Amino acid sequence: MATKINLAEKLSRFEDHWAPRIVARYNDNEVRLVKVEGEFLWHSHEDTDELFLVLAGELEMEFRDRTEVLGEGELIVVPRATEHRPCARKGEVKLLLIDPKEMPNTGDPATATVAVEI
């Protein structure tokens, strides 16, 4: 059964950073919310692209050859196998991610934070 999802309400349910929460599923994808602050680690996803949509704050997406700065309402798709590092150096950033189901956020299950459903 289809039901609406209030993103602000879902974001209010958690405070930790770099720990994605699954808020919806469609086909073989997960819609995830995450709060980030500081720098993440350099990583890539060998088999899939990755979509980041900034809901609040300013995100720097670092690539080895440049940095893209994203503000609220902007998104970026990181192509598969592209090394990148998301950074939130100006305070907390709230993101919506669309990822294939069970994709590790670091590209490596051994170092990933497992996304949980809320």
* Domain interval for residue 106: 7-117
Residue 103 lies in a domain: yes
Q: What CATH number has the domain bearing residue 55?
A: 2.60.120.10
Average pLDDT over residues 70-98: 97
Here the tokens at position 116 are 């949980």
Please indicate, yes or no, if residue 2 is contained in any of the structural domains. no
Query: Is 101 part of a structural domain of the chain?
Result: yes
Q: Is residue 74 part of a domain?
A: yes
Q: What is the pLDDT of residue 101?
A: 84
Give yes or no for residue 74 having a pLDDT over 80: yes
Into how many domains does the chain fold? 1
- 97: nearest Cα among 79, 77, 81: 77
> What percent of the chain shows pLDDT beyond 70?
91
Query: Does residue 35 form part of some domain?
Result: yes
Q: Which of 108, 105, 98, 92 is nearest to 33 (CA)?
A: 98
Q: How confident is the model at residue 116 (pLDDT cuts 50, 70, 90)?
A: confident
Q: Considering the domain boundaries, does residue 1 fall inside one?
A: no
3-state helix, strand, coil in the chain (%, to 5): 5, 50, 45
Q: What pLDDT is attached to residue 2?
A: 82
Task: With respect to residue 87, please indicate whether it lies within any of the assigned structural domains.
Answer: yes
What is the mean predicted confidence (pLDDT) over 24-50? 93
pLDDT score, position 77: 97
Is 88 among the domain residues? yes
Q: What is the mean pLDDT of residues 59-81?
A: 97
